Amino acid sequence: MSKSALVTGITGQDGAYLAKFLLSKGYEVHGLLARRATPTTWRLKYLDILDKVDLIDGDLTDIASIVRALLECRPDEVYNLGAQSFVATSWAQPILTANATGLGALNILEAIRQVRPEAKFYQASTSEMFGKIQEPVQSEKTPFYPRSPYGVSKLFAHWMTVNYRESFGLFGCSGILFNHESPLRGIEFVTRKVSDAVARIALGVQKELRLGNIDAKRDWGFAGDYVQAMWAMLQQPEPDTYVVATGRTTTVREMCRIAFERVGLNYQDHVVIDPKFYRPAEVDILLGNPSKAKEKLGWEAKTTLEELMAMMVDADLERVRREIK
């Protein structure tokens, strides 16, 4: 009998890569799909798996639709990757972010408790919960200090996962993932904003790239690597919390240099600092310690930042060439 998985946020970057990985493991994959006026399934098409997954209408803010999805597909594993996940937007839409990202996770936990308590649950936590860092390298034991409504909402979801694990015996794991990117990243995220701009500048359809704080440091990995850690957590004998990271931190400035060099350009000739992109409360540096994931899960990041940016720039060059034909 093949296993069944329900993935929220299946049309997002992580959801699409996870769905493809689970299919490769022989899973029956179901995705919770929040209907929008504009089609959102392009990532599933990009990975050539749209016709291989079962999409169920539902929304994180509507517990009835989650209950219905659980009863319909009877999943062995539930992965909550759905959220309002863009940090900058969370200041403009804090209540929406809290409802989708925070209460949405609670809705899933409560629905699982009521109708599918044997299912294993994965919560997508984030390094943004560390925010104003309390230790130079962040591990599972580092205190949290979120600096955005997004980080605060994710922290609520994280602690509710721990609480349901301890209170009701649910198999709930929380993966504290540091920044992870890919050609499927949304254009609003800085790595994809950079790779897209590099492609457009190289092809002569854009002249400059406007950014905010390019001295912020992040621990960047490849989303395709990171979804394997999510799955590995749910294969363990006991539920737990894990940091998933590369263990290397790099400035936005250096990431820009790497990306522009891919097309033979100097980033200093094209990057313009624009104060409107500064955040109300900045997270200056994030650097994860993935030693527990390596020891317990046998997982470690395989893709370097240089390889990741090359992959993203090349994919955007191909996209932009198609656009301007």
Tell whether 9 and 118 lie within a shared domain: yes
Q: How many domains does the chain contain in total?
A: 2
Mean pLDDT of 72-77: 97
Spatial distance between the Cα atoms of 74 and 138, rounded to a whole number of angstroms: 36
Is residue 40 annotated as part of the catalytic site, yes or no? no
Tell whether 149 and 255 lie within a shared domain: no
> Quick check: 162 pLDDT over 90?
yes
Q: What is the CATH number of the domain that holds 319?
A: 3.90.25.10
Burial of 272 (0-12, 13-18, 19+ CB in 10 A): exposed
Tell whether 155 and 123 lie within a shared domain: yes
Task: Name the H helices within the chain.
Answer: 13-24, 42-46, 63-73, 87-92, 94-97, 104-115, 149-168, 190-202, 223-233, 252-261, 291-292, 305-324
Query: 280-302 burial, b if ≥16 CB within 10 A, otherwise e?
Result: eeebebbbbbbebbeeebebbbe
Q: Is residue 276 part of a domain?
A: yes
Is residue 242 annotated as part of the catalytic site, yes or no? no
Catalytic residue selected from 28, 77, 128, 181: 128
Catalytic residue selected from 11, 97, 126, 303: 126
Determine contact, residues 293/246, Cβ cutoff 8 Å: no
> Quick check: 325 pLDDT over 90?
no
Mean pLDDT of 231-254: 98
Determine contact, residues 32/108, Cβ cutoff 8 Å: no
Catalytic residue selected from 17, 27, 79, 150: 150
Residue with tokens 């198999």: 171
pTM for this structure? 0.95
Q: What is the CATH number of the domain that holds 99?
A: 3.40.50.720
Give, for 262, the enclosing helix (H) or strand (E): none
Domain that holds residue 308: 186-218+249-285+303-324
Q: Is residue 298 part of a domain?
A: no
> Quick check: 279 pLDDT over 80?
no
Tell whether 207 and 137 lie within a shared domain: no
Is residue 126 annotated as part of the catalytic site, yes or no? yes
Determine contact, residues 59/251, Cβ cutoff 8 Å: no
Q: What is the pLDDT of residues 180-206, one digit of tens each?
A: 999 999 998 999 999 999 999 999 999
Q: Is residue 296 part of a domain?
A: no
> Quick check: 254 pLDDT over 70?
yes
Instruction: Classify residue 165 by its DSSP letter.
Output: H
